[in-house]
């Protein structure tokens, strides 16, 4: 019996069956009951093990599903970030182009203004040299 306890339920059943031939009917019935109990315990343990394996597989599957979901979410976030960056870069480039065009236009307007100022200055000098009796022309130049 010591050996049976050390071996667990299966060991107890094996130890109990060894001297079965020399046992009384009551002892044989008790041995059969122990064997049946050990078999039931083994069956219950096997059923528990199957349940635990199913539960473990369910957890694994949920973990796999969550990892897939996380991968998809990360991919979507990366795509969104890339789209925003691309959009921002395109907007920045469009604004730079607009700014360059505005600078160019301002430079052209400045050049035109300088040319007009030079023309007005030349016209004033010419008007002053040609005649002092031309107030209408001087008034026109002043207006410009």
pLDDT at 32: 94
Helix locations, the chain, DSSP H: 2-17, 25-130, 135-143
* Domains held by the chain: number: 1
Residue-by-residue pLDDT tens, the chain, 144 positions = 444 444 455 555 455 555 555 779 999 999 999 999 999 999 999 999 999 999 999 999 999 999 999 999 999 999 999 988 888 889 889 999 999 999 999 999 999 999 999 988 888 888 777 765 556 666 666 776
Tokens of 85: 């960056």
Range of the domain at 112: 2-143
pLDDT at 66: 94
pLDDT at 63: 92
pTM of the model: 0.42
Burial 109-126 (b: 16+ CB within 10 A, else e): eeeeeeeeeeeeeeeeee
């Amino acid at each position: 019996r010591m050996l049976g306890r050390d071996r667990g339920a299966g060991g107890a059943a094996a130890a109990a069956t060894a001297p079965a031939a020399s046992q009384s009917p009551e002892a044989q019935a008790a041995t059969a009951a122990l064997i049946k109990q050990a078999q039931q315990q083994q069956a219950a343990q096997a059923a528990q093990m199957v349940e635990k394996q199913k539960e473990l597989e369910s957890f694994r599957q949920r973990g796999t599903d969550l990892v897939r979901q996380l991968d998809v979410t990360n991919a979507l976030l990366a795509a969104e970030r890339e789209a925003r960056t691309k959009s921002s870069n395109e907007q920045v480039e469009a604004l730079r182009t607009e700014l360059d065009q505005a600078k160019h236009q301002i430079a052209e307007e400045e050049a035109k203004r300088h040319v007009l100022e030079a023309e007005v200055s030349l016209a004033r000098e010419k008007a002053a040299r040609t005649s002092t009796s031309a107030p209408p022309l001087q008034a026109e130049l002043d207006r410009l």
